[in-house]
Every structure is written in C-alpha cells, then in structure tokens.
Structure 1
Amino acid sequence: MHPDDEKILRMSKEIIVKFIEMGRVSPSNFDDNFRSVFWTLKDTLVSAQIPRLDIDKPAGDPSDV
C-alpha cells in the first residue's frame, strides 16, 4: 500500500465517523459511503498534484529555453 493511500484511508475514516455521528451513515449504507468518500478524496488529491517537469532532463538542457 502506498503511504498516500494510508493517509487517504485515515482521512476517509474521520469523515465517515463524523457522518455516523450526524446520523447520515448507518451500517446498511456504510460500504457505499466509505467508497464514495475514499475515491472522492483520492481523485481530488491526485488531480491536484503538479507533475514534475524536471524528470529525466539534465540541468542546462538546450530544450529549457
């Protein structure tokens, strides 16, 4: 498991716990709600990452201009 996935799982758990406390999530709909929260967080975090532009490009490469 990727370390980021573990963080996303923890964040998802905290959100679901709050929803349970508010009465919005019950044992009958836990699975659907947890998956929805997890994938929403993961999609948001992945799409927010900035790709590294300097990968495999040596410093001073003429294509930097």
Structure 2
Amino acid sequence: MDKEKAQALQVTKEIVVKFIEVGRVSPQNFQEFFPAIYERVRETLREDAGGAESGETRD
C-alpha cells in the first residue's frame, strides 16, 4: 500500500469512528458511508499534493 492510500485509510477510519461516536453512523451501516468518505479523503489529499507541488497556497 502506498503512502497516500495509507494516509487516506487512517484519516477515513478516524472520521468514521468519530461519526459513530456522535451517532451519525452506526456500526451496522458504516459500510454504506466508508467508501464515499474514503474517496473524498483521497481526492482531498491529491488536491493538496497538487497544490503543494505547483507552489499554490490555500487561503
């Protein structure tokens, strides 16, 4: 597993656990939410990496 995927997986797990803690997701239905959250985290990592490489800054 490459570094980006490992980071995305770790962040996604933390987000899903927090959602379970606050009651927005249950352990029984987390499989419905995990893929969408994971893909959004990966997109965000790619966007941030692309901006960092091109010298862009975020406001």
Secondary structure (helix, strand or coil) at the match of 1:44 reads helix
Amino acid in structure 1 at the alignment position of 2:50 = I
Which residue does the alignment assign to 2:15?
A: 15
Identity of aligned residues (%): 38
Greater length-normalized contact order (CA 8 Å, ≥ 6 residues apart): 2
More helix by share: 2
The list of structure 1 runs, each at least 4 consecutive aligned residues, that deviate by more than 3 angstroms after superposition, is none
TM-score normalised over the length of structure 2: 0.73
Q: What one-letter code is carried by the residue in structure 1 that aligns with 2:11?
A: M
The letter for the 2-side match of 1:34 is: F
Structure 1, gaps ≥5 residues long? 54-65
Higher radius of gyration, 1 or 2: 1
Secondary structure, aligned partner of 2:20: helix
2:9–2:38 CA contact under 8 A, matched in 1: yes
1-structure distance, mates of 2:16, 2:47: 22
Give me the whole-angstrom Cα distance separating, in 2, the residues matched to 1:7 and 1:50.
16
